[in-house]
Amino acid sequence: MLRKYSTHRTLGDNLRLGSLTAFSAGMLNVASVIVFFAFTSNITGYYAVFAQEISKGNWYQGAVVLLWISSFFIGSFLSNFLIINGKGRWSQYFAHAVPIMLEFLSVLYVGVYLDFFYQDSLQETEYLVALLLFAMGLQNGLTASISNSVVKTTHLTGLTTDLAILVSLLSKKNNRQNKAMVDKFHLLLTIMVSYVLGGLVGGFGFVHIGNSTFYIICFILILIACYDLYKIYYVKHWFSRRHKKLSTV
């Protein structure tokens, strides 16, 4: 019964999860651009770069870009795979926390490596960018799975398009009475603002604390995971009290 009940996620849950994950993605993307001169929250441009490198006969560079694309793909696949196969074994919230923890470990590894081992070589950069793309794939797969592919928090291209469409729809008075449409508008707008704020914090943070910015991102991911784990306890406690009341009737 707990598993059945815990499949419900409220708008408030989605707002909190979406805003925090978008904030961390914005921070991570800006930090990776500063350190590695590479975007890690989306792969749209890398498809064009891959085609360019192959057309020029730069096979090694093409292989590296393909590795980056594959890393993001594998992260997204693994995240959704864990959620799908976790249903029926774990609660929904625990299944969501697992990809976040894997993302946390990936980002933490990059932060530690930069602090103690990084020699600023090209090979290290290629490897670490791949790992961050894997982490962002995990996050994007998680949020897309939760929202039935409506929301993706690691990049804003599709989200900006969806938001523009919603704004045009809400220009009609009748649509402004549609709660589902208004709720989606608030969700998308919150994610967009959170991503931009995360990018600003990531940029300013790196100026002042350098590589420790990655640890701040890890802290945010821990908050996200702890919130989902807290919901496990909350739902279980609520259901137990409800069950006891029904049994005494």
Lowest average pLDDT, out of 41-45, 151-155, 202-206, goes to 151-155
Q: What is the pLDDT of residue 4?
A: 39
Q: Which pTM was predicted?
A: 0.85
> Is it the case that residue 71 has pLDDT exceeding 90?
yes
Report the CATH number of the 11-228 domain: 1.20.1250
Q: What is the mean pLDDT of residues 75-100?
A: 80
Please tell me the distance from the alpha carbon of residue 89 to that of residue 105, in angstroms, as a whole number: 23
- Give the model's pLDDT for residue 235: 55
Mean pLDDT of the chain: 84
Res 103 pLDDT > 50? yes
Q: Band of the pLDDT at 47, cuts 50, 70, 90?
A: very high
Q: Which of 54-63, 66-75, 136-145 has the lowest mean pLDDT?
A: 136-145
Under the banding of pLDDT at 50, 70 and 90, the label for residue 127 is very high
216-238: pLDDT as tens digits: 999 999 988 887 666 666 555 55
Confidence of residue 184 (pLDDT cuts 50, 70, 90): confident
200 or 9, which is more confident? 200
Domain ranges of the chain: 11-228
pLDDT tens by residue, 190-206 = 999 999 999 999 999 99
| Range with the poorest average pLDDT among 32-46, 139-153, 161-175 | 139-153
